[in-house]
Amino acid sequence: MKRDKSTALPRLKRGQLPAYQRVYEAFRDAVRSGQLKSGQRVPSSRELALKYGVARITVTQGYEQLIAEGYLETKKGSGTFVAKELPDGFFRAGLDGKQSRPIERPRPHRGSASSYIEQPPFLSGCAALDDFPAELWLKLYAKQLRGSPYSLNTYGHGEGGFRELREAIAGHLSTQRGVRCEAGQVLILSGSQPGIELVARALVNLGDTVAVENPSYRGITNSFRMNGAKIRSVPLDEQGMLVDVLDRMKTVPRVVVVTPARQFPLGVAMPVGRQAALLEWARKSGAWILEDDYDSEFRFRGKPLPAMQSLSNQDRILYLGTFTRSMFPDLRIGYLVVPRSVYPDFLALWKTAAMNPPVSLQATLAAFIREGHFQRHLRKMRKLYERRSRWLAERVEDLLGDWIEVGVTDGGMHFVGYYKQPVDPLRLAEEGRKRGYVFMSISSYGPDSVERDGLIFGFSSFSEEKMEAGLQALREVLES
């Protein structure tokens, strides 16, 4: 057996956290502090389990999370190593190691059986409405209307949104996504789209360049374009946006928009090494970063990946999140976390444009989070979406294996199936529409053409029967 050449092992902290998480945190902190160096081999899961006196599965789960986030990487046949791409000293410069608050225990609630207007397969981003605790939500909402501690006779233009919701969001973000912020940096918005609009209005001058991923969400390019920006698209690889392309641009972009935890729409995750390189580039060039953390709460294995904001010194990064995926699109509540230095400017714009959702809804959501229902709902949806994703991926492979290769399937509300044969995306979309389905190709997102086209397979809100019917229709169109 090869001898373990690593230096002292990271110390496993005692505490209430599950053992796998303590393994994860010990190694993550050792990498960040420089105790473990890029390229250094770490013990095998078997060796480490023996040394720590824990089960091997515990170590495996901790390592999986570290690999998913890009702290470690495996090399076939030779073991597990600290990732090569981690820039020296980056983490030591920016972290203060603040402890996050634990989230409250959820209380049980009754679910509800209702019938909703359904969307057609394979539209992405739709919630499983039948599994939303509607009765409970209504009770909380009624409580706000009947006995609200605030006046319903106002426009709700308070300081950035309902205070308790801003506090609940700051708490949730710090425990679940590693985001470092306080309630006084949060602006509550009617979804994340107004957040994109707000950033465009606040930061972009006529003719500024804004860099976006290719492909990306059209709402991003539309907002920036309408506010006078020139859009430059940046290609992606399997680790997300190519940072060296930004470096070679003639004009330094004023804003770079990224979806690091789960690239939209491809689903790839940006490892911490690439994130650090992007943040370093932004620091040197003076560009702003808008991190759009769209549906990353639904990660099927391990915890959701920490937000890129958690690695930064927070002064050039805006973090955008939304409840329209974690709850349902019509809720229209999202939030923007803004650096302290520019918060007053953003707040003034936010007030002028009246970007706030109704306070009664904000207060209902605050109670939903505070009482633990939100965490419970997320856990339930994560399981359901994972089941649906797995079922659909297997069926696509069985039924359409000659046509389609399934892409990343480790989270979210859709995955991409790449075409293995030439497909006309417009004809596919049109034939789908005639049959009552949404067959949307990556190439329809833009802003520029893509090297490899594929189909968006939304699965989150569809029963297996519905998806099966959609697959049969898709096969019929592909084969015709």
334 forms part of the interface with ligand PLP (CB under 6 A): yes
191 forms part of the interface with ligand PLP (CB under 6 A): yes
CA 20 to chain centre: 22
Cα dihedral sign, 277-235-320-440: negative
Tell me how many degrees the CA angle 362-363-368 measures, rounded to the nearest 5.
95
160 forms part of the interface with ligand PLP (CB under 6 A): no
Decide whether 12 or 416 has the Cβ nearer to ligand PLP: 416
The only residue of 125, 133, 302, 417 in contact with ligand PLP, by rule CB under 6 A = 125
The only residue of 34, 219, 425, 446 in contact with ligand PLP, by rule CB under 6 A = 219
Helix axes 56-69, 19-33, angle to 10 degrees: 50
Question: Taking a C-beta distance cutoff of 8 angstroms, is the pair 188, 170 a contact?
Answer: no
Decide whether 23 or 168 has the Cβ nearer to ligand PLP: 168
CB of 412 to ligand PLP, least distance (A): 10
Q: How many residues does the chain have?
A: 480
Output the DSSP codes for 413-465.
SEEEEEESS---HHHHHHHHHHHT----BGGGT-SS--SS-EEEEE-TT--HH
Alpha-carbon gap, residue 258 to 278, rounded angstroms: 10
260 forms part of the interface with ligand PLP (CB under 6 A): no
Torsion of CA 189, 206, 338, 31, to 10 degrees: 120
CA 337 to chain centre: 15
CB of 329 to ligand PLP, least distance (A): 5
The stretch among 186-194, 225-233, 268-276, 279-287 that binds ligand PLP (CB under 6 A) is 186-194
Question: Taking a C-beta distance cutoff of 8 angstroms, is the pair 307, 319 a contact?
Answer: yes
Sheet holding 41-42, edge to edge: 41-42, 79-82, 72-75
411 forms part of the interface with ligand PLP (CB under 6 A): no
217 forms part of the interface with ligand PLP (CB under 6 A): yes
193 forms part of the interface with ligand PLP (CB under 6 A): yes
The only residue of 21, 35, 322, 326 in contact with ligand PLP, by rule CB under 6 A = 322
144 forms part of the interface with ligand PLP (CB under 6 A): no
The only residue of 209, 324, 360, 441 in contact with ligand PLP, by rule CB under 6 A = 324
CB of 194 to ligand PLP, least distance (A): 7
335 forms part of the interface with ligand PLP (CB under 6 A): no
Q: Which residues bind ligand PLP (CB under 6 A)?
A: 125, 191-193, 217, 219, 259, 264, 292, 294, 322, 324, 329, 334
